[in-house]
Each structure stands twice: as C-alpha cells, then as structure tokens.
Amino acid sequence: MGRDHSPTGKVPSPQNGATSPVWTDQKRRIPRSVSPDPQLSAEQAYIDFAYECLDATRRAAEGVRDTVMHEAGGTFQARHERDVIWDRVASRLAQLELGDTALLFGRIDTDGEGRSDEPPDAHAPPVGDPAPDGAESFYIGRMSVADRAQNPVVVDWRAPVAEPFYRASGSDPMGLVRRRHFAIRGRSLLGMDDELFGSAAEALDHGSVQGHGALVAALEERRSGKLSDIVATIQGEQDEVIRAPLAGVLVVQGGPGTGKTVVALHRAAYLLYTHRFPLEGQGVLVVGPNRLFLSYIDQVLPSLGEAGVHTAVIGDLIPDTRVAITESLPVARIKGDLRMVPLLRKAVKDRQRALREPLVVPFGLQRLRLSVAESREIVADVRRRVRHHNAGRRQVEERVFSRLAERSRQPISPEDLRSRIRNNDEVRYALEWMWPVLSASDLLNDLYSSRALLASAAGDRLTADELDLLVSPRHDDPSKRVWAFGDAPILDEALVRLGPRPNRRDSDVIRTYGHILVDEAQDLSPMELRSLSRRSLGGSMTVVGDIAQATSPWAHDSWDDVIDALPKRRPSVRVELSTGYRLPGPIMDLAARLLPLAAPDLEPPTSIRELGSEPVIDQVNDGPGEPEFDEVLVGAVQREVSAVGQGSVAVVCTGSALARCEAALTKAGVSFGRATRHGLDQQVTVVEVRMVKGLELDAVIVVEPADILEADDRGAQALYVALTRATQRLSLVHQRPLPAVLVG
C-alpha cells in the first residue's frame, strides 16, 4: 500500500485541497446531463480498472475449474485432491459472482501514518481522484480484489483497514481526512458524497449519521420484497455490533427500522471473514421466526459473498420431522414451558419397565424362564448405567439372554442363544416392553395419544385442564406426522433424552454450530431457547429483537429472561440500536404512541428521516350514500399503488379479516398475492399481522387497528409491529373507532 499512482496508494493532492461534495440527484440517482466532472471521470477510471482485475480473477478461477473438470482417473489420493480443489474453486466463483450489485461503494483517505515508501508500481495505471496531500487512499468494496502483481485494488469491507469507513466521526476521525461514498449502478458511477475531517472540515458540522447522501438515497429506493444488504451505508452504532467479539452472547435491542436484522446478517458475514477458521468448519446458524422471514432475507448473505450459512426456523433443526401447524395460545404456552423438561424425562423413564408376567421361552425340550423380579433388576441396573435411553437397549438384551442362558440345562453362550431365539414372538414382545428403541416422534406420538401416559409423566406439574389440552389423536405412522411449532423443542428434548437409535446415529445426531444468530429472540419460549443453546458449540451467540414487538405466546417483557436461558460460559453483553433509518418521522411518531402499552420502559428510536408523508386515515362511515368497507379498502390500495409506482404494498389485518380483505380486492379486480414461505411474489400482498414482523414494504395499509389491538393480550405489540413496516407511506382503514391511544 502507499505506492504513488497505484490503485490503492497515495495520489498527489489537487491544487485547491479537498473538494466539496459531488452528488447527482439523491432520490433517483441519475447521471448528470452536463459534461462529466473530472473527479467523477477519474473515479470511473478506477472503477473500470477494479472490474478488470475482478474479471481477470474470475477467468483464472474458471481456468482452474475447467482443468480439474477434464482430468480423470488417477489414484484415490489424486481424485480426492481434485474434489477438494473443485469445491474450493466453486466456492470462490460463487463469491466472485456479484450480479447487479456494485463491487465498490466507497473510499477512505487516511492521514498516511505508517505508509510505505516503496517506489511506485510501474504496472499500475494512474487512475482515481487524487487524495489530499500526504494522504493514503483505500477503496472499500464487497470483496478484496488485487491486480496482477497482487497489489490490493479493493479492500473487503470486513477488513480492519475498512473500519474507519463506518465508524469515523468528527469527534473521532480514526485517522481519516476524507470519506467518500459512491453511487454506482452496474459498473457506472452516478455520483459521490464526500465527508471531510480534520483541518479540511473545521467549518463543517459532522453528526452521527455518516454518508448522509448515500444513506438517504438507499433508504428511499423502493422495496423489492427481499431484504437487501446495507454494506455501503452501515452506520457507526451498527458497525460496533457487526464487529463485536465472537465469544459469548451478544444481545441487541433494536426498535423498528434500526436495521437490527440486516446488521445481524452482516455480523454473520463479518465473523466468517474474520474467524474463517474455525467457523467455516463449525458452521454458522441463522434462526428466523418463520419461513416467510427466511425467504425475505435469503439474498443478503450471498450478496456479501457468504453462501454457506445455514438458515432455519427451529422446526427445521429437528431431524426427520415436519413442523407446520399453529396451535392455540394456551396449548403453545404449555408446550413452551420448562415444565416439559422433567415431563419428558419421566416419559422416557416410564418406557423402561419390568415385565408384567414372567417370560417363558421354549428351547428344545426346555422352557427358559425370566421372572418379573429379574426383569425389574435388569431395568434398574441398565437405567443406572446409561445416559441415553436407546443406548440401553443392547445392554438389556445382553442381560436377558445371559439370564436365560444360565437356565439352560445344556451349556450355551448368551450369543448363541440370542441367535436362536431372538425372533421368538414372546422374546421380541418382552424386549419391546422392557426397553423399546424409540424415535422422538414415537415417544411424543404415544405420549400425546394417552392421557394416562401424560398424567404419569407430568405428575403434579400440570393441571387436569392442561393435560386435556395436550391430548391429541395417535397417528399410525409417527414419522409422517405433521407437528405443531410448539412441538419442535419438545421433540428436540426427547431426542436428547433418547439418544441415537442403533444404525441411525448420523440422522439422530444434534448438530452444533460455532456461532448462532437468532432474530426476534424476544418471542422464543424457554423450551425454544433451551433447544438453541444446546446447539451452541462454545456459547457464541448473537440474539436480536425488540421487546416492544414481542407478540408470541411466550413473548418476553425483559431481556433478562432470555439471557437466563442462554449459555453462560462468558458474561453476556447488551447493546441498543437507537437510530431509526427505515421509518419516516410522521409514521414513527404515530407508532410511538403505542409504546406506553407495548413496552413502557423503552424509548422510540430517533428517526433520521424527519420528513415524510403523514399517515392517511380512511374511515368507513355508516349511513346511506357512504362508501362501504370494501370500496374504502380498494380505494386505499389503489391510491398507495399509484403513490409508490413499482414499490411494494401490503394490506395487514387480523387472521379473521383475511377472507374479507381478499374478497374485496378480488371483486374489484385488484391483483394481489399472499404471504407464503416462499416470500412476497406480487406488488400487493394481503398478510396476517402475525406474519409481517421483520418485513419492510414501501406502503402499508393497516385494517381495523382496534381489532389488532384487542385480538389477544399482546395486541399492543402486534399493532406496533403493523404500524412500523412501512418505509414510505402508511394508511389506516377502519370502521370501528380508532384506539384512543392513536387518536391522542
């Protein structure tokens, strides 16, 4: 670094020092129609050079891939080496595939301390706008790119040298004299935004928001139905979360629009870059609240060059099961309670039983006998010796056949006896009764179908009414049963108690991860948190959420309860994101009225978008000649579609109002989609309020806020979620009176 005229080195200073900001139309990000600015032209030349280097790197990787592909035969070692090379090259090519996203997005000019005095590289073209006198320039992008001499051309945004790009401020410049943000579409530079530090910026007022022009332009772009990365506009408080140490549990409280979800995803990419070994081998797990959410975020990590992160809902983590059913609130609360842990422990113990009658087995002219007392002794002995239930089955068999062999008048080994009588119906029945091999689905299917089994396992931990709520019909094939979401952590707990089945050790194993990232953690039950904790290899976790948006049956009002259920190998760290970027000020002001009900101890985030459209209130008035509900709703949808152009529009309502809203739009010929596990695939979407959490849309129409507020005891939190999904426009359609808290 530091070579004159090199792609990342020092460039001679212009005559007049640092320049003033240069930015094209910030909202539309269109190129100027006048003659090109010399600075823009210089930076465009640099960008072109960076892409040339990237293309050369891609061609080299493709050459290696083609060579490996056409090689065949050889020793086992040679074939193995080719497979390893192929996997690495394929991974590298995936990282180099940018699609329509820009390679570069910024540049920093440092004060030049510690720069090299090496002579200039003759092969590096003199491109790039000159830096202030004595400064050293670094171009920041999505990945590191080098030229043919392996001089760095683009610095990966996760590298330590890039940290000042996100964190430098007027009070702490971190060695910067200038920070520049680029607006790039494809490979074309549209504009740039400069921030000056030190003597060059004495007369400038630098706030907490850096790259304001680039940030506002990004915030005002329409939403596509997929979450986008923010790598070009990460703010200081967000960067602190992203670059926080790997060890321990990091808890991030973030109000609506603070970017907590996308920040968490960038943290996953940063940790994989910084701690490639050991995380690449151990794995990184991202857990979301539902599959719609996973579809919504699925573009972020690949766009950052990290496609190997495992994303899942908790139900996906249970092997050989399908989880897809939503249960009533009372049932969900029981299943999420930690009382299920001793219940499962006792349920497993109840399947380790002495015989009810002696086992008598014909063997030649003999009858071999195992008494009830002997079976009780065997069960008790094995129970003391094994940690996992399924591991005890073989020991039970060994003891049973040993006792029976002792009864034979003709000397015979237990192994020989086993081979001769193991298929006897009486023997098989006895072994299955004493110590059956069970899957988690087997255990829970039997348990739920029998109130007697439930009562025995629960003891006095559950009331009679609670037991009745857990009873459900037995399925003939437990492996094909569709389970409720609340069953997932119970199945997981059962899997731990049971252990792997013989010959099923690979499928029954619980995988652990080097780092686990959990979104909407405030909604997880104690059982779900327990399930996630056991998957943490070293106690490294990042949990993000917002107490004010806690809407689940096990919603937490404090992070203390969440932290208590997580690994405690190191003290946990809590941080709060306090700046809102998504919501315009008027929308945030309306939503903030709910905070005294939703989360009295929290302050609303400070919105940097002070201006914006005021929320629109569409009231359905009773009386002759007044528009009916359907007409008002359709009119609101058409108005918002017209206002946002190609942007996204969501109609948010309670589950009971879904059919009515959909019927109104269908009758009016308005095309719309539904929120599914595959995402939002149309411009207009009708979505139940419980599914909208975590999403961003250009315009949101909230139907009957009073119904949402009164739906259950977390209604205030649900309405707060609904009101804070819009990035541009918010409408309320109501026939019932608006909740008083919104009117005031």
What is Dmax (Cα atoms) for the chain?
112
- DSSP H helices, 25-75, are 38-70
CA distance 590 to 738: 12
Pairing relation of β-strands 104-110 and 136-141?
antiparallel
User: Are 651 and 685 in contact, with CB atoms under 8 Å apart?
Assistant: yes
- Domain 585-742: which topology? Rossmann fold (3.40.50)
Q: Which residues are annotated as a binding site for ATP?
A: 254-261
Domain 244-304+510-580 falls under CATH 3.40.50.300: yes
CA distance 208 to 179: 14
Residue 232: CB atoms within 10 Å = 24
> What element of type H or E holds 496?
helix 488-498
| Tokens 């409408």 sit on residue | 731
- Where do the CATH 3.40.50.300 domains begin and end in the chain? 244-304+510-580, 585-742
* Amino acid 176: pLDDT: 93
3-state helix, strand, coil in the chain (%, to 5): 40, 15, 40
Q: Where are any strands of DSSP class E within 247-289?
A: 249-254, 284-287
Residue 342 neighbours by CB under 8 Å, 6+ apart: 459, 461
Pairing relation of β-strands 152-156 and 145-146?
antiparallel
| Tokens 């979360």 sit on residue | 241
User: Are 732 and 718 in contact, with CB atoms under 8 Å apart?
Assistant: no
Residue 708: CB atoms within 10 Å = 26
- How far is the CA of 608 from the CAs of 220, 535, 542, 584, 589, in angstroms? 12, 38, 26, 8, 12
Can the peptide bond before residue 278 be classed as cis, meaning omega within 30 degrees of 0? Answer: yes
Q: Which residues are annotated as a binding site?
A: 254-261
The string of pLDDT tens digits covering residues 344-375 is 999 999 999 999 999 999 998 899 999 999 99
Name the amino acid, one letter, at 670.
V
Query: Could you tell me the strand order of the sheet in which 145-146 lies?
Result: 145-146, 152-156, 136-141, 104-110, 176-185, 188-196
User: Are 414 and 402 in contact, with CB atoms under 8 Å apart?
Assistant: yes
Q: What is the pTM of this model?
A: 0.85
User: Are 192 and 176 in contact, with CB atoms under 8 Å apart?
Assistant: no
CA distance 58 to 43: 23
Say if residue 727 is exposed, middle or buried (CB neighbours under 10 Å; 0-12, 13-18, 19+).
Answer: buried
Q: Where are any strands of DSSP class E within 540-696?
A: 541-545, 573-577, 579-580, 606-607, 616-619, 649-653, 673-674, 684-688
DSSP code of 481? P
User: Are 646 and 612 in contact, with CB atoms under 8 Å apart?
Assistant: no
Residue 715 neighbours by CB under 8 Å, 6+ apart: 708, 709
- How far is the CA of 44 from the CAs of 15, 122, 341, 652, in angstroms? 21, 21, 62, 44
* Amino acid 397: pLDDT: 96
Identify the segments of the chain with pLDDT beneath 50.
1-34, 114-116, 119-120, 122-126, 202-208
CA distance 229 to 266: 8
Nearest to 175 by CA among 166, 164, 167, 163: 164
User: Dihedral, CA atoms, 126, 127, 128, 129, nearest 10 degrees?
Assistant: 60
Say if residue 395 is exposed, middle or buried (CB neighbours under 10 Å; 0-12, 13-18, 19+).
Answer: middle
Nearest to 389 by CA among 534, 226, 501: 501
CA distance 651 to 641: 11
